[in-house]
Amino acid sequence: METRKRSIAKALSWRFIATLITSLVVFAATGEIILAAEIGLLDTLIKLGAYFGHERMWLRIPYGRYKPPDFQI
């Protein structure tokens, strides 16, 4: 299992990269840096919460996991 702090750290690091990509795409399409920054920020706030919830939900799903043995020789 992961701690909530690890899920938060992963979400923040990914959102930094994704925000940069979104902002660059908007800037390339419109040429407007303020609009690109605003859309990048809004996109980040929405998707940060969605990613964190998605990560925490998957921690509750046993699919693809196996239980390690209680002991090993």
Count the domains in the chain.
1
Q: Chain centroid to CA 21: how far? A: 13
- The answer to the question of residue 24 being in a domain is yes
Q: Flag whether 64 is in a domain.
A: no
Residue position matching structure tokens 């239980």: 67
Q: Is 14 inside any structural domain?
A: yes
Number of H helices, E strands in the chain: 2, 0
Dist CA 48 CA 15 (whole Å): 6
The encoded tokens of residue 45 equal 């706030």
Q: What is the pLDDT of residue 25?
A: 96
Is 34 part of any domain?
yes
Q: Is 36 a domain residue?
A: yes
Tell me the residue range of the domain where 48 lies. Answer: 4-59
10 occurs within a structural domain: yes
Query: pTM value?
Result: 0.62
44 and 11 Cβ atoms separated by less than 8 Å: no
- The tens digit of pLDDT for each residue in 3-58 reads 889 988 987 888 889 899 999 999 999 999 999 999 999 998 898 888 889 989 99
